[in-house]
Chain A
């Protein structure tokens, strides 16, 4: 069937969670019961405020949890500001799912190492949920996550939840100077915390996402631990508009981040021109 990929679904904002300054999570439900929206972890969508435009974020929930999806975004431009002004029961537009997902089925039986910081956690949360919802299929699960300050940490309740799980190793940190008086976890940049708690690369997959500086500093540490470049996954962000590989905004060399990604192995990223 020829579907028109520019026509959005209509989704209702079912819940709003203020995660951090300027950062919100929206829980979205489809208004059309026949929508039958399915997706895989790592895919993204175009979220639109009619009259303002669309903005691109990953789908931050997991396909293992049905009936709704979640997105987490920071208010920074025209569309995200308009989105931030929405209220519960408002209708927004959603196009998707777009992009290549994480190949989670190929990771069964392996240890999974998540490395991220700040607003980089939402794209990985869909994978974390997906893994934790099928926990018995995977080996060790380690999460290295930090933010500039305690207030900037997103998904604070879930972090508590992960910290208390015996089958998850959570290394939580804030940048030096970002701790509060009652902060009990690590203080230091994420790469420093990884150095202090080196993950084993044996039968392991690493997934790194977040600020470019974090990715840049984490890669040598992973290499030192023996992670081959094709065992490290990341999700690239670039300016996107159409989501389907036509408008040209997201290209890096011959690659369209929207349709050939946004999930890439580090080996694939190294082969691209460094224009992202």
Chain B
């Protein structure tokens, strides 16, 4: 992607960006995250539909934050994550520049949070068809069938926490799973503890997950954990309105009170 490489080199050369996070090709021809600090390295950058990683997760990393002026090569799901993180006030110490490619194949450079918001709203992604198909299938099941499905799936979980690690919204410095007074969630990978972990995570992400699907895609055990948070999100949208990763103002349903909120659950 010549245009991308040239622009990236320019941003690094003129000091707009100290560290650029993008994609490059590895020995196995996979597209993997790369971190470049000089214009000379920009010629390794690649960007296409196969670039699935949500690179905004790296914005929490100390070694990245130290660079302050960050460039991010991002697909629209990643840009939506950044918008959600900005609305949660997580990126205040960084100056961000975004590079993306629109539907017409043109390079787009976004230099401010406002430009980011406008772009995301204009190109807002919908639920992937294969995920919607799976959600419909699960919702059509009886409770017992659904329980059996997830019990089967979650028995494979090895508690590697890769799902938590790749999620840009999982940025707590001490996770609930790391608390042992009390031991909220068992550390061992037994099915009941696995259920506890994944349902806890879905709850913590309700109304925050932007459905990039990374958690499910990268799960080493092949468990489609992204469906749990996708389902939570659809329910949140139905109950409270609003869309995650839509606006800088956010308004995360689980910690926002509005006088018009339904209270029919209080009996």
| A interface residues (Cβ-Cβ under 8 A, vs B) | 77-78, 81
Q: How far is the CB of A9 from chain B (nearest CB, A)?
A: 24
Task: Report, nearest first, the 6 A-B pairs whose CB atoms are least far apart.
Answer: A78-B180, A78-B181, A81-B181, A77-B181, A78-B183, A77-B180
6 A–B contacts, CB within 8 A, in A order = A77-B180, A77-B181, A78-B180, A78-B181, A78-B183, A81-B181
Residues on B with C-beta less than 8 A from A78 are: 180-181, 183
Q: How far is the CB of A258 from chain B (nearest CB, A)?
A: 20
Q: How far is the CB of B181 from chain A (nearest CB, A)?
A: 5
Interface string of B177-202 (1 = CB under 8 A from A): 00011010000000000000000000
Q: Main secondary structure on chain A at its contact with chain B?
A: helix
Residues on B with C-beta less than 8 A from A81 are: 181
* A78 and B181 alpha carbons, distance in the complex (Å): 6
Q: How far is the CB of A135 from chain B (nearest CB, A)?
A: 44
Q: How far is the CB of A94 from chain B (nearest CB, A)?
A: 21
Q: How far is the CB of B177 from chain A (nearest CB, A)?
A: 14
Residues on A with C-beta less than 8 A from B183 are: 78
Q: What residue in chain A is nearest B183 (Cβ atoms)?
A: A78
Residues on A with C-beta less than 8 A from B181 are: 77-78, 81
* A219 and B183 alpha carbons, distance in the complex (Å): 40
* A78 and B180 alpha carbons, distance in the complex (Å): 7
> Which residues from 157 to 183 on chain B have a C-beta closer than 8 Å to any C-beta of chain A?
180-181, 183
* A78 and B179 alpha carbons, distance in the complex (Å): 10
Q: What residue in chain A is nearest B182 (Cβ atoms)?
A: A78
* A77 and B183 alpha carbons, distance in the complex (Å): 12
Residues on A with C-beta less than 8 A from B180 are: 77-78
* A81 and B183 alpha carbons, distance in the complex (Å): 14
Q: What residue in chain A is nearest B179 (Cβ atoms)?
A: A78
* A229 and B180 alpha carbons, distance in the complex (Å): 39
Q: How far is the CB of A247 from chain B (nearest CB, A)?
A: 13
Q: What residue in chain B is nearest A81 (Cβ atoms)?
A: B181
* A239 and B12 alpha carbons, distance in the complex (Å): 43
Q: How far is the CB of A52 from chain B (nearest CB, A)?
A: 9
Residues on B with C-beta less than 8 A from A77 are: 180-181
* A78 and B182 alpha carbons, distance in the complex (Å): 8
* A78 and B187 alpha carbons, distance in the complex (Å): 15
Q: How far is the CB of A162 from chain B (nearest CB, A)?
A: 37
Q: How far is the CB of A256 from chain B (nearest CB, A)?
A: 22
> Which residues from 195 to 212 on chain B have a C-beta closer than 8 Å to any C-beta of chain A?
none
* A81 and B180 alpha carbons, distance in the complex (Å): 12
Q: What residue in chain B is nearest A79 (Cβ atoms)?
A: B180
Q: How far is the CB of B164 from chain A (nearest CB, A)?
A: 21
* A197 and B106 alpha carbons, distance in the complex (Å): 77
* A81 and B181 alpha carbons, distance in the complex (Å): 10
* A78 and B183 alpha carbons, distance in the complex (Å): 9
* A77 and B178 alpha carbons, distance in the complex (Å): 13
* A77 and B181 alpha carbons, distance in the complex (Å): 8
Q: What residue in chain A is nearest B181 (Cβ atoms)?
A: A78
Q: What residue in chain A is nearest B180 (Cβ atoms)?
A: A78
Q: How far is the CB of B51 from chain A (nearest CB, A)?
A: 35
* A53 and B260 alpha carbons, distance in the complex (Å): 48
Q: How far is the CB of B180 from chain A (nearest CB, A)?
A: 5
Q: What residue in chain B is nearest A53 (Cβ atoms)?
A: B180
* A77 and B180 alpha carbons, distance in the complex (Å): 9
> Which residues from 202 to 232 on chain B have a C-beta closer than 8 Å to any C-beta of chain A?
none
Q: How far is the CB of B178 from chain A (nearest CB, A)?
A: 12
* A78 and B184 alpha carbons, distance in the complex (Å): 13
> Which residues from 7 to 57 on chain B have a C-beta closer than 8 Å to any C-beta of chain A?
none
Q: How far is the CB of B182 from chain A (nearest CB, A)?
A: 8
* A47 and B183 alpha carbons, distance in the complex (Å): 19
* A77 and B179 alpha carbons, distance in the complex (Å): 11
